[in-house]
Structure 1
Amino acid sequence: MKIGDRIQRLIDTLGISQAELARRVGMSQSALNSLARGDTRSSPRLHVIARELGTTAAYLTGETDDPTAEVPAFMLNNEERQWIEYLHLLGEPERKSFLTIMKSLVEGPAKPTLHNDRRKYRPEPDGPRIYKAGA
């Protein structure tokens, strides 16, 4: 199977267009189309294309027939890589704030702790409260 066939099959499997893949890897759609048609046999962006397709350059070039050979166990997708890029653009205080927000979204809001003092929870008395002036 040729490089173009492998790329096109993975594009179809992922349900994305050539234009979308080209945008994600930072190349023109016509250059990617040329690679997928087989007009071009290689690209300096081949490793980036492979990573975006969830495989390796070795699979795309035909060095192996296993699309998962040598693929790291944990790979970030395009959206996750964008999050990290944006995170690196933030200053230290903003990163800490962002981390606090993310933790609260994942773990839920922090639960207040009760201390042994006057602020301890006291149940409401039965019946309505009556307030008197000067009391």
Structure 2
Amino acid sequence: MGTEKVPRNEKKKVYKTIFFTIGVVALLFVGLLGYGVYWAFFNMNRLPTSEYLTEESSPDGKYTLKAYVANGGATTSYTVRGELVFNQKDRKAKNIYWNHKEDSADIKWLDNDNLMINGHSLDVPKDKFDFRNQ
């Protein structure tokens, strides 16, 4: 009387639901963990504050690259950060250059959209140089 059998199809549905739920939770956890690592270690918008070095405008005046030097303290080397400013558009400036073991910035515009900074060529605004990704 008290021993009713659960049909096999019902067991399969329960197992599928459990595995699906576990899979979704695991996928969300891995995604959040991956984003957290990116945010903490690789997001260029979280670079430390810096001291102004120099700036150079593109030949057509569309962009300005401002260079800053950051001093990480006694245990780390100087780093140079390059910030691209959009002069003619209402866009937020973005960091396009970050390199360690440098304390100066040699900026030369090759044409309206290409520049050379400390030997690294960048096609602005789409390229970025970050020593942590090399």
Greater C-alpha radius of gyration: 1
**TM-score between the two structures when normalised by the length of structure 1:** 0.18
Q: Larger % of helix: which? A: 1
Q: Larger % of strand: which? A: 2
